[in-house]
Amino acid sequence: MEEIIKNYQAYAEKQGFKLNPNGEAVKRLIKGLLENEKKYGAKYCPCRRVTGNPEQDKAKICPCQWHKQEIEKDGHCFCGLFYKS
Amino acid sequence: MIEINLTDQNFEQFIQSAKNFILVDFWAEWCMPCFVLGPILEKVAEEYSGRITLIKVNLDVAPRISREYGIEQIPTVVLFKNGKPISKFVGVRPEPIIREFLNEMLKDNLQIKDS
């Protein structure tokens, strides 16, 4: 889990945003990503419905297709993993 | 308030036989915003007790229903009347906005329980 958090943190910094300052929330989200990986084979966003069709679900793998727009618009991605710096 | 959780097996029957407005909270265990919205919805639904019944649908136990109602992101909250969805919102909303949403939907004969 720590390794995954570090990777997402590094990604966020590189992109100019940050992880949710609430560490417990981050851990919960990472658990969700890992559950989805176990269940569906990839780290799909826990706030989006996974259809089971890999082609259709590709955009939902975290960081998802929409996260940058959501951070720009709302200050955080829909699921709350990434926040605006 | 008694928590009602529905599944693919009992959702339609419950919704179709309901006499009240039904507010359906589509959620999942690892969805962080769902855990923020859940208590807010419960509090607001309590104020509308007798007019609205809040039910919860976990995407993992009701994948068919979630697909049929076009749930793509969670939390998604759908208001049903006479067995049909009449309005919805997606994501966390503060209490006043949810009250506004419900007041608008129920405005014909609104009767809020005294708190």
Structural domains of chain A, ranges and CATH numbers in brackets: 2-84 (3.90.460.10)
**Active site (catalytic) residues of B:** 31, 34
Question: What pLDDT does B1 receive?
Answer: 65
Give the tokens for residue B37: 């919205």
Chain A residues with at least one Cβ partner in B under 8 Å: 25, 28-29, 31-33, 35-36, 46-49, 51, 78-80
Question: What pLDDT does B114 receive?
Answer: 43
Average pLDDT, chain A: 95
How many degrees, rounded to 5, is the angle at CA B45 between CA B43 and CA B48? Answer: 120
Write out chain B residues lying below 8 Å of A31, CB-based. Answer: 30
Tens of pLDDT along B65-108?
Answer: 999 999 999 999 999 999 999 999 999 999 999 999 999 999 86
Residues of chain A with pLDDT > 70, as a percent, come to 100
Give the tokens for residue A6: 């570090």
pLDDT, mean of residues A20-31: 93
B36 Ramachandran zone, left/alpha/beta (phi>0; psi -120 to 50): alpha
pTM to 2 decimal places: 0.90
Give the tokens for residue A54: 């890999």
Residue B115: is its pLDDT beyond 50? no
Tens of pLDDT along B51-65?
Answer: 999 999 999 999 999
DSSP three-state, residue B88: strand
Structural domains of chain B, ranges and CATH numbers in brackets: 4-108 (3.40.30.10)
B31 interface with A at CB cutoff 8 Å: yes
Torsion over CA: B92, B77, B70, A54 (sign) = positive
ipTM: 0.87
Tens of pLDDT along B15-42?
Answer: 999 888 999 999 998 899 999 999 999 9
Contact B73 A78 (CB under 8 A): yes
* Of the partner residues B33, B34, B72, the one whose CB lies closest to the CB of residue A49: B72
Tens of pLDDT along A47-79?
Answer: 999 998 999 999 999 999 999 999 999 999 999
User: Residue A45's closest chain B neighbor by CA?
Assistant: B31
B28 interface with A at CB cutoff 8 Å: yes
DSSP single-letter state for residue A37: H
The radius of gyration computed from the CA coordinates of chain A, to the nearest angstrom, equals 12
